[in-house]
Amino acid sequence: MHPAAQLTAAQRLARHVAGTSFADLPPAAIQAVRNFTLDLVGVGIAGTRSPYAAGVRQATQGWGAGSDAHVFATGEALPAPHAAFINAFQAHALEFDCVHEAAVLHPFTVVVPVLLAEAEARGLSGQTYVTAAALGVDVAAGLGVAARSQIQFFRPATCGLFGAVAALSHARGLTAEATAHAFGYALAFASGTMQAHVEGTPALAASVAGAARSAFVAVDLVQAGLPGPLGSVDGPFGYLTLFERDSALEPVLASLGQVWRACEVSWKPFPSGRASHGGIDMILELARQGMTADNLDRLVISAPPLIHHLVGRPIAPPPLEVNYARLCLPYVGAIALLTGGVGLTDFTSERLNDPEVHAVARRIEVVVNQVQAASAFVPQSAEARLKDGRIVSVATDVLLGTPQRPLSREAHLAKFRACSAYGFGGSKPKLEDALIAAVDRLVALEDVGLIGRLAAGLMS
């Protein structure tokens, strides 16, 4: 490596990844990895019910045989990169995966499937897994936090790939120099288009899946002796130059080892785009104030530009595509008002095209408020005009599920069990208990592959 003053950003990140041990992690970061490993496994199990998941599993059958690791819920044994591809797709397919709001990405969604596949294929101790996961989140979320402009590429895939390469590099014990070269291949393979978000297509989850598979390719290439470009993050054609219009990376680099990004991650309490959750929460509060689907005349939700950009789309006429609906605040808001919440079963074909839902959704509008910060999720407010002339309103500065307003352990486990039952087609209490117990004692596990096998439904 070069003298510190001459290091590229990738080399500085690589030093953090290679030089950090389990003993360096604060208890809060360890607990966050526990929490969001279980959460991610749960949503990945549920994701087997995505209408596109079977097609993804079918496609991988032609990519080569192997039995290194298993697919969540369905249990196919595949080469580790292919299992990680499917599991990452399933983990994002239902828009229920945890999120780092300031970074505008899902940092565990690529990292956990990669590490669980690696654990099944090669073996990982609990301490190595926890450290690798925390470091992967540091890198992925750190790159997202460094951005100062509105998201234009899909960061869960682009930043997520850098995070997964960091996690896998640490898990395999790569040197800082080798890790920096592996980041070069993360840049080479980075992809993820927001066009899929605009159109509401499964290419979003597929880009996350591609990042998971590409992490294995990147690290394997470096271990085979191929050098990668060292300016992959801050070079003239590096990640920040190509993928972000404006960025400030130095504060992120200076915070390495002091700020642990895993501690900043939020749960998703609803299976829809995170940007819709403030609106859902406010609608539920307005319902407690007396607003109903029958008496609502017009509801206006005022939110930062990012919220409008991500979920402010109007309800589309039937047939409504499921991925579009998950990213449509008028749709999920109408569901919340009609049913008292938003759940996994609210995206069936019948529900998506329910005339009553569409009628309510057409009365909900999202507008941009005075906030100018590119990545802000709050503050938000909602004002409803009722048919009798009354006006009811509410505002929020903190979203449900954030570290400042976290899910209780009871709610966290209830979400996991609901996801498991949805994915497996029925409750499996013994399996759910075994997974919860394994994650609770994650640090002491000698073989983290146990979690991957349990997530596949294998009890033995």
Q: What is the mean pLDDT of residues 184-188?
A: 98
* Cβ-contact 393, 381 below 8 angstroms: yes
Kindly write down the DSSP assignment for every residue of 126-158, as one continuous string: HHHHHHHHHHHHHHHHHHHHHB-S---B-HHHH
Longest CA pairwise span in the chain (Å)? 73
Structure tokens at 36: 């969001």
pLDDT above 60 (res 5):
no
Q: Whose CA is closest to 274, among 304, 247, 246, 296?
A: 304
Q: What is the mean pLDDT of residues 405-434?
A: 98
The sign of the torsion formed by the CA atoms of 49, 50, 51, 55 equals negative
The C-alpha atoms of residue 396 and residue 378 are separated, in whole angstroms, by 7
Q: What is the mean pLDDT of residues 49-71?
A: 96
Q: What is the mean pLDDT of residues 63-68?
A: 94
Give the pLDDT confidence score for residue 65 in this predicted structure.
92
pTM: 0.96
Structure tokens at 374: 């590119």
Residue 361 main-chain phi, psi, to 5 deg: -60, -35
Kindly write down the DSSP assignment for every residue of 200-213, as one continuous string: T-THHHHHHHHHHH
Q: What is the mean pLDDT of residues 165-185?
A: 98
In the predicted model, what is the mean pLDDT of the chain? Answer: 97
Give the pLDDT confidence score for residue 2 in this predicted structure.
47
Domains of the chain (ranges, CATH numbers): 4-269+431-455 (1.10.4100.10), 274-396 (3.30.1330.120)
Give the pLDDT confidence score for residue 460 in this predicted structure.
67
The C-alpha atoms of residue 460 and residue 457 are separated, in whole angstroms, by 9
Give the pLDDT confidence score for residue 428 in this predicted structure.
98
Give the pLDDT confidence score for residue 430 in this predicted structure.
98
Q: What is the mean pLDDT of residues 207-213?
A: 98
Give the pLDDT confidence score for residue 1 in this predicted structure.
44
The C-alpha atoms of residue 229 and residue 78 are separated, in whole angstroms, by 31
List of residues 6+ apart from 369 with CB closer than 8 A: 302, 303, 304, 379, 380, 381
Q: What is the mean pLDDT of residues 433-459?
A: 98
Q: What is the mean pLDDT of residues 170-193?
A: 98
Q: Whose CA is closest to 439, among 31, 23, 28?
A: 31
